[in-house]
Amino acid sequence: MAASNPSKPLPLPPGSLGLPVIGESLQFFQDSDFVSKRQERHGAIFKTHILGRPTVMIYGAEANQTILGNESKNFENSWPASTKALLGPLSLALQTGELHRNRRKLLAQAFKPRTLATYVEIMGDIAQQYTQKWQQAETLTWYPELRSFTLDVACKLFIGQDNGCQTPLGQHFETWCAGLFSLPISLPWTKFGKAKRCRDLLLQELGQTIQARQSMANPGNDTLGLLLQARDEQGQGLSQDELKDQILLMLFAGHETLTSAITSFCLLTAQHPEITARLRQEQQQWKSKEALTVDDLKQMTYLEQVLTEVMRLIPPVAGVFRTVLQTCEMDGYQIPQGWSVQCSIGSTHQDQALYSNPKQFDPERFSPEHLAQQSTEQQRYGYVPFGGGIRECLGKEFARLEMKIFAAHLLQNYEWQLLPNQALDLVVIPSPRPRDGLKVTFKALSE
């Protein structure tokens, strides 16, 4: 595969651009198999028109390396119009070039190893509060509860707010999230229109929090405190407007996709008791400890394999969008300047050229022995749940940490089983989740 100017006009990829204006957006939102159906018909590359733009969808390690590895050369970071409007113009997700590199360095302070180590106890405490509540309930619909859990963790660690899901900020946040990947029709009753209103309310809430923190002699050691003190290479700090957009992005990244990944872990372990039994066996050596440490978490090698496989089988992000900066060629097709390209993460993770029996849940494929047989390129661009290249998810180690702490706490203390007669097929937008919300029985683990 190459990304270069063709010497002569080439055909566009196969596929349909759908209806005028809306293209195939409705099918994209309503059909969880939208991508796979078109890949069966057209192959690894096809064209469509979604979220307001003509788009080429493609998958595979080579495609990922070409697109994600050529940021600002042939391709530029891109988001659907609804996402851009709701994230805000100062968000790291929308910044490019030198500004993006500069801001990424500043925001990275919240995810350095020594900072992450300070998060462990708080994550564990909030996990304990929630699991005790679930034990008392005995049966529950787990997905909305997990959303509340991850939002509480994000609010506490990023802005120092307790019980974030129960605050006005938490309520506005859920409506805002629901509109991030929607048709950008700004009417009061649409998902996008409601989300725009909630963005304004969220910015008001965050502005008040920032102002209150700025008036303190010590701004604190949470993420907001670190960012208030952060300075770039020219000695400049973040404006209040940018702080609000960046914090909003971090709350989203530490909540939406992380909830999906944790839910998938709970679902897949419930469906594979033999894997759960092995996970529990590994956890025995830490069961008597009052609090886990980062070193303890590093030793949970089988849990690491399982979580890695969870995000391969059900990646929390379906794909990564880029804008084509200049007309180029891929697999013998013309990709016009100004179009969008989406690297399909889900399809890459189902590529039989990369993974044998890709639909099977098999943590052994990430054992040290198996990984030793893979090329660096396959590991780097064939497994991309956090994206890749210079825009790889800044908070991926935060996500891994929270997933591990939560999973270890569950495995050591509780058991859960799926309730019958529920739909477990996945709704995939904005991130995968079981259609009926994952209904389970939940109780303390029998000794």
List, for residues 184-206, the tens digit of each pLDDT value.
888 889 999 999 999 999 999 99
CB 277 within 8 A of CB 422: no
Among the ranges 5-19, 110-124, 178-192, 262-276, which has the highest mean pLDDT value? 262-276
Q: Residue 278: exposed, middle, or buried by beta-carbon count in 10 A (0-12, 13-18, 19+)?
A: middle
Mode of pairing for the β-strands spanning 319-324 and 340-344: antiparallel
Of 280 and 330, the one with more pLDDT: 280
Of the listed ranges 120-134, 263-277, 327-341, the least confidently predicted one is: 327-341
Range from 373-377, 392-396, 433-437 carrying the lowest mean pLDDT: 373-377
pLDDT at residue 447 in the model? 59
Q: Is residue 201 part of a domain?
A: yes
Q: Region 383-410: what's the mean pLDDT? A: 91
In a domain, 15, yes or no: no
Q: Look at the chain and report how many structural domains it folds into.
A: 1
Does some domain include residue 185? yes
pTM of the model: 0.90
pLDDT at position 199 is: 92
Residue 101: per-residue pLDDT: 86
pLDDT (tens digit per residue) in 72-96: 678 888 888 888 899 988 888 888 8
- Is residue 155 predicted with pLDDT exceeding 60? yes
In which band, very low, low, confident or very high, does the pLDDT at 423 lie, cut at 50, 70 and 90?
very high
Domain assignment of residue 118, yes or no: yes
Q: Is residue 168 part of a domain?
A: yes
The CATH number for 114's domain is 1.10.630.10
Average of per-residue pLDDT across 304-325: 93
Name, in order, each residue with C-beta under 8 angstroms of 317's C-beta and a sequence gap of 6 or more: 257, 345, 385, 386, 387, 431
- Averaged pLDDT, 19-47: 89
Q: Are 181 and 82 in contact (CB under 8 A)?
A: yes
Check: CB of residue 405 under 8 Å from CB of residue 292: yes
Q: Does residue 7 sit within a domain?
A: no
| 46-60, 164-178, 225-239, 268-282, range with the lowest pLDDT | 225-239
User: pLDDT grade, residue 1 (50/70/90)?
Assistant: very low
Assess if residue 9 is contained within a domain: no
Per-residue model confidence as pLDDT tens digits over 2-16: 444 545 689 999 999
Rg (CA), the chain: 22
Cis peptide bond prior to 430, omega within 30° of 0: yes
What's the rounded mean pLDDT across residues 145-170?
A: 92
Contacts of 31 (CB under 8 A, 6+ apart): 37
Average pLDDT of the chain to the nearest whole number: 89
DSSP per-residue letters across 376-434? HHHHHHS--TT--GGGS-TTHHHHHHHHHHHHHHHHHHEEEEEPSS---SEE-SSS-EE
The answer, yes or no, to whether residue 273 has pLDDT greater than 90, is: yes
Please, which pLDDT band fits residue 377 given cuts at 50, 70 and 90? low
Predicted pLDDT at 414: 96
User: What's the pLDDT at 341?
Assistant: 92
State the residue range of the domain holding 291: 25-442
Q: Which of 1-15, 233-247, 400-414 has the lowest mean pLDDT?
A: 1-15
Q: Is 393 annotated as a binding residue?
A: yes
Percent of residues, the chain, with pLDDT higher than 90: 51
CA distance linking residue 221 with residue 391, whole number of Å: 26
- The pLDDT-based confidence of 236 (bands split at 50, 70, 90) is confident
The pLDDT assigned to 429 comes to 79
Cβ–Cβ < 8 Å for 392, 107: no
Q: Is residue 447 part of a domain?
A: no
Q: pLDDT band for position 111 (50/70/90)? A: confident
DSSP letter at 215? T
What pLDDT sits at residue 38? Answer: 93
